[in-house]
Each structure stands twice: as structure tokens, then as C-alpha cells.
């Protein structure tokens, strides 16, 4: 069931979103060569506790996970695209890191992700990240009342396909509210003019993730980490947004 949020409720999600944005900015600062993914997770856990927030990742156990999620961050490096577990892996020069973070504050959830390079950047990774961010912006721009879900999906997919990137629509965006994953699903591929009609009060996470190579992915034996099947690099960008009578509001903007 798709639930529309009031102005007041959207303002509460905005507060959770400000916290999420602040954490992502801080993690990005901490993510330098030699720092482990577990260090980033511990840093985030401390920020959650200090803010009186609550992790919606820790212990999360959907049917596809071999075990409950063991961290408060998703840390996906290079060929890992989504749901990378915070491990003892130490960041190396040139790594492409995607950090996905959602938390609950005051009873409301916000969800956002960023991708960036550690140390010395390379042009191909920079282009992959920039294209993913541009797809997110295109999806947000399409999130207008009266438009359809397929307009968002096709806007995202077109940016990725025009750049020749791999796209797989098995994992995508979602409604956000009291919980992290609500209806509706927000696919990263679709046909304009189809699907749910968008209305003011709809709060969704839009989250393109693209692969530099083909469209196929594989899942690690842990049941969580999603990697490009061909080992190519991947990038992910996500904001939680609210559809209003006018322009959409980015609730996870810094
Ligand atoms: N934040 C991710 C999403 O955008 C989901 C993370 S799964 C978890 O849908 F297990 F890490 F919680
Ligand atoms: Co999400």
C-alpha cells in the first residue's frame, strides 16, 4: 500500500535526512587509504548513538540475506555495487567506494548513498560516478505530481544506457517512511507513461546503481554483497525525496 505523507511528516523525515546526510559527509572524510570498512562502520555507529538515532540496517534480515545484516553501513568497493559488508578490508589508493546509509530518527527513516574515489582518482571511475549522479538528478527531476513511476525509471535508465553502462533492475528504489522499505518500488529501468501516478506526499528513495561493464551481477556466498558479474567497477547514488505540488524536495540533502 502506498502511503502519502503530510507536510509535517515530511518535515520529520527531513530531520532524519539531515542526520543521514551529515553521516555520509563525515564517512567520506574518514574514508582515506588504509582505513578499514569496519572502521567506517564503527565511526557511523558512534554518530548514531550520539544523535539518539537508530540503525535500520543492523539485524535487518530479508529473505535473500544468509544472515542478519551485521553493520550500520553498506560499504561496497570497486566491483561491489550494493550491500557490501563492513569488513577488515583496508581502503587502497584509487578504490571506488559506495556508502549506503539509512537510519531512523524520531520515528522516521531517511536513506541515501554516495560514491567517491579514495586517493588518486581515474577518469573512467570519475565518469561512472558522475553518470550515476546525473541519473539520480534526472530521476528526481521526473518526480512531479501527475507524472508516472515509469517516467522516473525511464529517465534513470536513459542516462545509464546513453553512457553505455550496465544496468540491472532487480534492486532499485522504494518508498520510505516509518520503515526503510515501503511501497512503491522505484525501478531503475522502465517505460515512460506507465505505472503509478505520482502524487504530492509520496516519499521515495531513488537509487540508480550502474556497472561499467555488462548488466549481470553475482551475489557473494554471504547472501548480501552484490557485485558486477564481469568484475567491472560500479557506482551507486541515492536520495530520499518528497513529491510536492511543485518541485520535489531532496530530504537527504546536506
Ligand atoms: N539502503 C539500502 C537500500 O537502499 C538497503 C540496505 S540493506 C541493509 O535499499 F541490509 F543493509 F539494510
Ligand atoms: Co534505499
pLDDT above 90 covers a percentage of the chain that reads 98
CB-based contacts of 199: which residues, under 8 Å, 6+ apart? 4, 145, 243
**What is the tens place of the pLDDT at every residue in 195-222?**
999 999 999 999 999 999 999 999 999 9
Res 56: pLDDT: 98
Take atom 2 of ligand 1 and give the residue whose Cα is closest.
100
Helices (H), the chain: 7-30, 37-51, 123-141, 149-162
Query: How many domains does the chain fold into?
Result: 1
Three cell numbers written together for 100: 549506503
83 CA from centroid of ligand 1 (Å): 6
173 CA from centroid of ligand 2 (Å): 5
**Overall pTM surpassing 0.85 (yes/no):** yes
173 CA from centroid of ligand 1 (Å): 10
Is 155 among the domain residues?
yes
Residue 126, sorted as left (phi over 0), alpha (psi -120 to 50) or beta, turns out to be alpha
Res 177: pLDDT: 98
Q: What is the extent of the structural domain holding 191?
A: 7-250
CATH of the domain at 198: 3.90.230.10
Nearest-ligand number for the alpha carbon of 41: 1
Is 2 among the domain residues?
no
**What is the tens place of the pLDDT at every residue in 224-233?**
999 999 999 9
pLDDT category, 65, cuts 50, 70, 90?
confident
Closest of 71, 8, 17 to residue 250, by C-alpha: 17
Residues in contact with ligand 1 by the CB-under-6-Å rule are 57, 60, 69, 74, 83, 100, 102, 111, 174, 205, 207, 238
Amino acid at each position: 500500500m502506498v502511503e502519502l505523507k503530510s507536510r509535517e511528516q515530511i518535515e520529520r523525515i527531513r530531520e532524519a535526512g539531515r542526520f543521514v546526510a551529515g553521516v555520509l559527509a563525515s564517512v567520506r572524510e574518514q574514508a582515506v587509504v588504509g582505513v578499514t570498512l569496519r572502521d567506517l562502520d564503527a565511526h557511523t555507529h558512534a554518530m548514531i548513538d550520539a544523535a539518539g538515532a537508530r540503525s535500520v540496517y543492523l539485524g535487518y534480515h530479508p529473505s535473500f540475506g544468509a544472515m542478519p545484516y551485521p553493520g550500520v553501513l553498506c560499504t561496497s568497493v570497486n566491483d561491489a555495487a550494493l550491500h557490501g559488508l563492513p569488513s577488515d578490508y583496508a581502503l587502497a589508493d584509487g578504490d571506488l567506494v559506495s556508502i549506503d546509509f539509512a537510519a531512523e530518527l524520531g520515528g522516521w527513516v531517511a536513506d541515501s548513498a554516495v560514491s567517491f574515489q579514495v586517493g588518486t582518482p581515474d577518469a573512467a571511475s570519475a565518469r561512472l560516478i558522475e553518470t550515476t549522479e546525473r541519473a539520480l538528478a534526472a530521476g528526481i527531476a521526473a518526480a512531479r505530481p501527475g507524472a508516472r513511476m515509469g517516467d522516473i525509471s525511464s529517465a534513470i535508465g536513459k542516462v545509464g544506457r546513453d553512457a553505455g553502462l550496465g544496468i540491472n533492475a532487480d534492486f532499485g528504489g522504494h518508498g520510505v517512511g516509518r520503515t526503510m522499505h515501503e511501497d512503491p518500488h522505484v525501478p531503475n529501468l522502465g517505460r515512460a507513461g506507465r505505472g503509478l501516478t505520482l502524487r504530492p506526499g509520496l516519499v521515495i528513495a531513488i537509487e540508480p546503481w550502474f556497472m561499467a561493464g555488462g548488466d549481470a551481477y553475482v551475489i557473494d556466498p554471504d547472501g548480501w554483497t552484490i557485485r558486477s558479474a564481469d568484475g567491472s567497477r560500479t557506482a551507486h547514488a541515492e536520495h530520499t525525496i518528497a513529491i510536492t505540488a511543485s518541485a520535489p524536495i531532496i530530504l537527504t540533502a546536506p
